Amino acid sequence: MALTPLQQLASASTYLAPPPVFTPAERLTRREEVLRWLPADRAGLVLERDELASAIEQLELLEYRPETAAFHQLGVTGVWTLRALSEPEHANEEEAVRMRETELALLNVEQRIEFDGAAVMTVDFELRSDGDDDAIRGRLEVDCTLALTPMADSLDLRTAARRLRLPRLPSSMGIEDLMRALHSRLSPEFRAEEGVRIGLQTTYMDEDLRITRCTTAKSA
């Protein structure tokens, strides 16, 4: 059986953080525990809370992450589907409740990353409101670039442009409120201001699962 490029690089060099103090079986057990708390539908998206948050932390403790920049660059290349995220900070509890109750559903969130670091983040969403007979389906696209850093497990991201595609304007909210509602449910890659650098650390990565933490203290 032919090896994938990721497997070839893995077999050719030391690429993961220092000699593991865990067995492969232990890693797979912790990995399965994370997957157990994710939606069965691959397009589903959940907030990182309680059991899922604990399972993710246990997997991160293994420090199974890129050891070289070359491996990191190759490893992140491809299409990734966002399955879970930490809830963004809200100004207050009232705003948090209001944002959660907005009739906005995320249908699919993807990251398409090229080997040269060019990336497009997309989110397909559905908005329902009392004044609309049918749900409005739209898409938010964000163009950005990912750059290597002196830290092998970290990347810098800069947003270049964003596009909001809608068949018509919703009757229940303006574009500014719609963007605010989207940002309240999305990861920092979607919320960053154009041209502003944010740091992203990969805390776990294999061929199908990647966990990333934003290291910038506060992103837009």
Which pLDDT value is given to residue 146? 96
Query: Domain of 75?
Result: 5-214
Question: Does the residue 117 lie in any domain?
Answer: yes
Which of the pair, 144 or 92, is modelled with greater confidence?
Answer: 144
Question: Does the residue 69 lie in any domain?
Answer: yes
Single pTM value for the model? 0.80
Which pLDDT value is given to residue 101? 58
Of 13-27, 34-48, 62-76, 182-196, the range with the lowest mean pLDDT is 13-27
pLDDT digits (tens, 9 = 90+) for 100-118: 556 788 889 999 999 999 9
User: 3-state secondary structure string, the chain?
Assistant: CCCCHHHHHHHHCCCECCCCCCCHHHHHHHHHHHHHCCCCCCCCCEECCHHHHHHHHHHHCCCCCECCHHHHHHHHCEEEECCEECCCCCCCHHHHHHHHHCCEEEEEEEEEECCCCEEEEEEEEEECCCCCCCCEEEEEEEEEEEEECCCCCEEEEEEEEEEEECCCCCCCCCHHHHHHHHHCCCCHHHHCCECCEEEEEEEEECCCCEEEEECCCCCC
Question: Does the residue 219 lie in any domain?
Answer: no
Which pLDDT value is given to residue 193? 87
To the nearest whole percent, how much of the chain has pLDDT over 90? 52
Question: Does the residue 220 lie in any domain?
Answer: no
Q: Name the domain count of the chain.
A: 1
